[in-house]
Structure 1
Amino acid sequence: MKRMISRTTMGLAAVALTVGALAGTAHAAPAAAANSGDPTLTDVYIWATNVNLRQQPTTDSPRLAVRSKWWGDAVCQTQGQRVHDPAVGTNNWWTAVMEFSGSDIAWVNNLYIRGGEKIAGVPDC
């Protein structure tokens, strides 16, 4: 039993470190409100749940965080690996997002961002 509790505690600690690496002390904005991040960047909304934010615009890249129904600041977008989700479609456009101005950048496929294949108002990288 002690071994099981220890493994559970270590697993939870690893999850907390992974989430904290990108999040710092920031909290996601409510789904109905826009992000109050950098006004010079375009706010984008990840509408889906359990979306992986990656180090590079490919699913082979390390996952930095997982977000659900979350607002972020979009830095730019570029074409990367084509992603296919049977429930949503296929897209090869990825957006670089930040939790707030100056935070780490992570990539999310545009399939999971409100706005379509290529997000209006977000410049190309």
Structure 2
Amino acid sequence: MKRMISRTAMGLVVTALAVGGLATTAQAAPAVAGGGDPTLTDVYIWATDVNLRQEPTTNSARLEARSQWWADAICQKQGQTVHDPAVGTNNWWTAVMELSGSDVAWVNNLYIRGGQKIAGVPDC
């Protein structure tokens, strides 16, 4: 019985965190106090099978692929120009990490909702 109550409580906590996270995805996360980190902005990768790269170029290592995914944007800068016939051309890339924290990876802004340069994401 004690184990069932514990599991139920954990399920409620996870659900509350997930719902709370979805409700705040449009807001910027505050910088870590004393760490000098830039303000993080949530961004949405709208496409499917988008490559997350080690550097802002398609020639760098592919770290992961994501589909329709929210991430924390650290900063953005110009890198290799990417042309996708279905979407367009862009040379702006955003450094992202998973909302739960992860290594930094780069995504071309073609695949992030917000346009050529993403509002609210500082330049690197």
Identical-residue share of aligned pairs (%): 77
**TM-score relative to the length of structure 2:** 0.70
1:42 touches 1:122 (CA, 8 Å); kept in 2?
yes
SS of 2:116's equivalent in the other structure is coil
The one-character-per-residue Cα deviations of 1:8-65 (angstroms, maximum 9, x if unpaired) are xxxxxxxxxxxxxxxxxxxxx89xx4649x8221000000000000000000000000
Looking at structure 2, the residues matched to 49 and 80 of structure 1 have their Cα atoms a distance apart, in angstroms, of: 21
RMSD of aligned Cα (Å):
2.3
**TM-score relative to the length of structure 1:** 0.70
Instruction: Give the deviation of 1:112 after TM superposition.
Output: 0.1
2:50 touches 2:65 (CA, 8 Å); kept in 1?
yes
Q: How does 1:90-101 map to 2 (within 5 A)?
A: 90-100=89-99
Moved over 2 A (4+): 33-36
2:70 touches 2:99 (CA, 8 Å); kept in 1?
no
SS of 1:104's equivalent in the other structure is coil
Looking at structure 2, the residues matched to 103 and 49 of structure 1 have their Cα atoms a distance apart, in angstroms, of: 20
Long gaps (5+) in structure 1: 1-28
Q: How does 1:1-125 map to 2 (within 5 A)?
A: 33=22, 35=25, 39-40=29-30, 41-100=40-99, 102-125=101-124
Long gaps (5+) in structure 2: 1-17, 31-39
Greater relative CO, 1 or 2 (CA 8 Å, sep 6+): 1
Aligned length: 95
1:35 touches 1:72 (CA, 8 Å); kept in 2?
no
Looking at structure 1, the residues matched to 25 and 55 of structure 2 have their Cα atoms a distance apart, in angstroms, of: 23
Looking at structure 1, the residues matched to 56 and 86 of structure 2 have their Cα atoms a distance apart, in angstroms, of: 20
Instruction: Give the deviation of 1:68 after TM superposition.
Output: 0.2
Q: What one-letter code is carried by the residue in structure 2 that aligns with 1:103?
A: S
